[in-house]
Chains A and B, each alone.
Chain A
Amino acid sequence: MTNRTIRAWTLIHKWTSLICTVFMLLLCLTGLPLIFHDEIEALTAEHTLPPMPAETPLKSLDEAVATALATYPGERPLFLSFDEDRPVVNVTTGPGARPPVSQMHISAIDLRSTRILADLNDDKGFMHVMLRLHVDMFAGLPGELFLGFMGFLLFVATLSGVVIYAPFMRKLSFGTVRAGRSRRLKWLDLHNMLGIVTLMWVVVVGLTGVINTLSVPLVAYWRSNELAAMIAPYAGKPVPERFASVDAAVRTAMEAAPGMRPQFIAFPGVRFSSNHHYAVWLKGATPATNRILTPALIDAETGAFTDMRSMPWYMLALRLSQPLHFGDYGGLPMKILWAVLDVLTIVILGSGLYLWVARRRTAQDHAAAAPGLRSAVGDAAE
């Protein structure tokens, strides 16, 4: 690489980093508790089911929905999701088909009794604040897309960092940390070493984060293309006055897709369904396939099966981006590793900021770099 090329990449690294660093620090700090949100919520929420005889028959989904609607009169059902390992469904209701999240109500309902175990409408707690800061900084879709752009800048900063890693390491073996000379040199080496070892994790978590910020436009695109094609005969039909049975819709969907189980049901009119259908989102039964969702559309007026299609590639990418970003797919040890890598990323961001400040303050440490590297390091450390 010529010094000109190095200089260009250095400028790219400097400016993309400077723009995104503050936001990345915010994301790393708020992301840290979010990694453990299951564990933290288990500490604060009541998670044990009231004891009932083991063979207590389950009530119907329709009864669960009726319970939620009786609790929030005047609202309409939006989603019904199934808990993984207990007979509990979560029914989301709201004043309209697509209200803001703040106006939705989520009730966790015990299917053995249709009693409401808890309302999950936490919109003030610590974890909620962390989540909103992390997702959109309380700025809605523009905030979300903005953070997505910052994530893209992080990706460019990471790649350019890899490029200028080479001139730094021309005469140093892997993992060298010169801690005994100047503070600046120590942090420079740490920044380079931590940056290069966490490279893949940072790229994957960064890019899947970017994909997650595109969720709203991607779902809207899917709805107006794939979904519109599935429900072409129903185009322009209004949301039905009365809905057919949810239980029957789930049964019909499961008959159409043997071996799959429902993950959640989107009611007519919501973002994940058409105006006229229940969308029963089915997942595969094996660990490799249970992240891949397939929507079966059931006519919400007649209960008849309409269509079922696997998701297009961009929706699969969106779906797989969730576990790869959250780190919630490999038990607690994986979450702990996620947290450690997150902290290392904070050190990279902080040291990068420090190096920029220190570089502006003084240039005298350049001489401490490896002999013969002065011009390259001087440029690249900018």
Chain B
Amino acid sequence: MKPRAPLPLLAIFGIPAAIALVTAAGLVTALLDDGLVDALSWAALSVPVLAAAWSWRNRER
């Protein structure tokens, strides 16, 4: 879906900002402890990778 009216900045940067925050949280948590926290960090760092994979899967052909 391509919106017609120009998007406000919040709409443009909302998802990217969320991905950036999750990435940052993933980078920091693994520093604090081992074990369960490491798994949280793997999940968080998967988010940018999955977002890229999702965008590629849904590309306009």
A interface residues (Cβ-Cβ under 8 A, vs B): 165-166, 169-180, 186, 189-190, 193-194, 196-201, 204, 287-288, 291, 320, 323-324, 329-331, 333-334, 337, 340-341, 344, 370
Interface positions of B from 27 to 41, Cβ below 8 Å from A: 27, 30-34, 38, 41
Binary CB contact string for chain B from 1 to 43 against chain A (1 if under 8 A, 0 otherwise): 1111111010011111001110110010011111000100110
B interface residues (Cβ-Cβ under 8 A, vs A): 1-7, 9, 12-16, 19-21, 23-24, 27, 30-34, 38, 41-42, 45-46, 48-49, 51-52, 54-56, 58-61
How far is it, in angstroms, between the C-alpha of A341 and the C-alpha of B42 when the chains are bound?
12
12 interchain pairs (CB within 8 A)?
A170-B7, A173-B3, A174-B14, A176-B2, A189-B59, A190-B56, A198-B48, A198-B52, A287-B34, A330-B38, A337-B42, A337-B49
| Contact among B4, B27, B32, B58 for A175, CB-based, below 8 A | B58
- CB A325 to nearest CB in B, in angstroms, measures 11
Closest to A324 in B: B27
Which residues of chain A are near B4, meaning CB under 8 Å? 171
How far is it, in angstroms, between the C-alpha of A334 and the C-alpha of B4 when the chains are bound?
40
A178-B60, A329-B31, A333-B42 given; A340·B49 CB < 8 A: yes
| Contact among B6, B27, B33, B59 for A178, CB-based, below 8 A | B59
Which residues of chain A are near B31, meaning CB under 8 Å? 288, 291, 320, 323-324, 329
Closest to A204 in B: B27
| Contact among B20, B30, B59 for A329, CB-based, below 8 A | B30
- The answer on a CB contact under 8 Å between B38 and A197 is no
Which residues of chain A are near B12, meaning CB under 8 Å? 165-166, 169-170, 174
| Contact among A193, A196, A330, A341 for B49, CB-based, below 8 A | A341
Closest to A336 in B: B42
- CB A102 to nearest CB in B, in angstroms, measures 33
| Contact among B9, B33, B51, B55 for A288, CB-based, below 8 A | B33
- The answer on a CB contact under 8 Å between A171 and B7 is yes
- The answer on a CB contact under 8 Å between A175 and B33 is no
Excluding A200-B48, A337-B49, 10 further A-B contacts by CB distance (< 8 Å) are A166-B13, A171-B7, A174-B55, A176-B2, A179-B61, A190-B56, A193-B55, A288-B32, A334-B42, A337-B45
- The answer on a CB contact under 8 Å between B60 and A180 is yes
- The answer on a CB contact under 8 Å between A177 and B55 is yes
How far is it, in angstroms, between the C-alpha of A199 and the C-alpha of B23 when the chains are bound?
9
Which residues of chain B are near A170, meaning CB under 8 Å? 6-7, 12
| Contact among A172, A175, A199 for B2, CB-based, below 8 A | A172
- The answer on a CB contact under 8 Å between A176 and B48 is no
A178-B59, A323-B31 given; A204·B24 CB < 8 A: yes
Which residues of chain B are near A186, meaning CB under 8 Å? 59
Closest to A329 in B: B30
- CB A287 to nearest CB in B, in angstroms, measures 5
Which residues of chain B are near A340, meaning CB under 8 Å? 49
- The answer on a CB contact under 8 Å between A287 and B59 is no
- The answer on a CB contact under 8 Å between A177 and B33 is no
Which residues of chain A are near B56, meaning CB under 8 Å? 177, 190
